[in-house]
Structure 1
Amino acid sequence: MKKATGKTAGKAKSTADDVDAYLAKVPEPARTTLGEVRAAIRSVVPAEATEGLSYRMPAFHYKGALVAYAAFKNHCSFFPMQASLTDEMQEELKGYRTSKGTLQFALDKPLPATLVKKMVKRRIAENERRGKR
C-alpha cells in the first residue's frame, strides 16, 4: 500500500504518516487494538487505496470513502461508512454495540480480523459497484 494522500473534512491533505501520529497519541491498550484493526484493513484493501485522516480519524479511501476507525475514552469504533452495513450484518455483529454506521468494541479487544476483512471487502465491492473514483 502506498502512502498516498487522502482528504479530510477540511480538504487538507493527510497521509498514512498522520495516521501513525494519531495512533502514537492513543493510550494503551487501545493503540494496540487499533493497530490490529488497521493491519486487518491493510491486508485486504487494493494497492490504490489511500490512508489518511478523515474527520480527525484514521480512514481508508478507495473509489470514495471506505472505512474509518477511532479510539474514544471508553471504547473503540469501526465506521464502515455505509450505514446499512451494520444492519445487513446484524447477526454477525450480535456481541457488539452498533448504531447507524458504527460498530463499537472494547479498548482492549480488537474486532476479529475475519470480521474486519469481510466488512472492508463488502465496502470495496459497494464502491466498485457504484463506480466511484
Structure 2
Amino acid sequence: MFCQNMAPRRAVNARNGDQLPPPPLPRTAEELNALLEERISAAIAQYEANRTQDSGGPSNARRNGHGDSSGGNVAQGCTFKQFLDCKPMNYDGAGGAVAFVRWTEKTEATFRMSKCTADQQVIFATGLFVDEALTWWNL
C-alpha cells in the first residue's frame, strides 16, 4: 500500500555513505556573501598552489630566460619564433570593428595551435601590430 505522507526513499550511494551531508543553503544575503567569499578565497588559494607547483615553485630561478637551467623551452608555452611559424596575420588598424574581430579570432586560433601561455599572448599579439595599430598601441 502506498502512503502519501511518507517521504520518498533515497538510494544510498555506497561510495558516499561515510560523507557528511552538504551544509544548508544560505538564507540571507549576508550568509550568501560570506559563503561566496569563503569559496572564492579557497579556489584562489588552490589555484595559486597549483600554479606554484606547476612552475617549479617560487624558488625556481629563471637562469636562462626560459624558466629552466637547461637552455631549452619550458614545458608549457612557446617562443616568438614558434608563434611566427604558425603564420599569424598582422593587424594594421584598418577595416573597422569587423576586421579587428576577425583578426582577433584568427590570432586566438594561432595561440591555441602554438600553445602560448596567457602572458606570452599579450606580448606576441602586440608584435603583430603594424601601421596605425602600432601607432595607437605606442601612445
TM-score (norm 2): 0.20
Higher Cα Rg, which structure: 2
TM-score (norm 1): 0.21
Relative contact order, higher structure (CA 8 A, sep 6+): 1
Q: Which structure shows the higher helix fraction?
A: 2
